[in-house]
Amino acid sequence: MKKRAIKKIVLYTFSTLLILVLALAVHIYLVYRPKVTPYTRVMARIDVKQPLTVDDANKISAFMAHEKGVDHYLVNPETRIVVFTFAPVKNTGDQIVNDFKANFNYKAERFIPSAENLKHSCPVAASSFTYKIYKAISQII
């Protein structure tokens, strides 16, 4: 009779833990799913392949200020990089880059990070326990 009671306790404990782990897995999956809302902001970068002056940077800044969906931008003439954030609901990064090329005739391209760049971009996210659980669950599902 004692063995039967111990087996029931172990079975109920294991079942409860299994249900809690599954609930945690579903929660992590739902939280990490990307959702595009009107408040979502995406950061993008344009690499200009020719020298820029301060005057050019000011013209680019004026263009970015009037571009649909762009809410913040930074133009660095020394590194020839334009970084901006935009609302993906209003515009796309490719469209902004195409408008940029059409207005300025610069040799420029949108910087798209490679898989290797993304792998090493955020040391906290890739090594966090919850991210590893999310990746394991997303591979299963």
- Per residue in 31-48, is it b (16+ CB within 10 Å) or e — as a string? eeeeeeeeeeeeebbbeb
77, exposed or middle or buried, with CB in 10 Å at 0-12, 13-18, 19+? middle
* Chain centre distance of CA 131: 14
- Render each residue's pLDDT in the chain as its tens digit; 141 residues: 688 888 899 999 999 999 999 999 889 888 887 788 888 899 999 999 999 999 999 999 999 999 999 999 999 999 999 999 999 999 999 999 999 999 998 899 999 888 887 776 665 566 677 777 777 777 876
Listed residue (100, 95, 99) closest to 81, CA to CA: 100
The pTM of the whole model exceeds 0.85? no
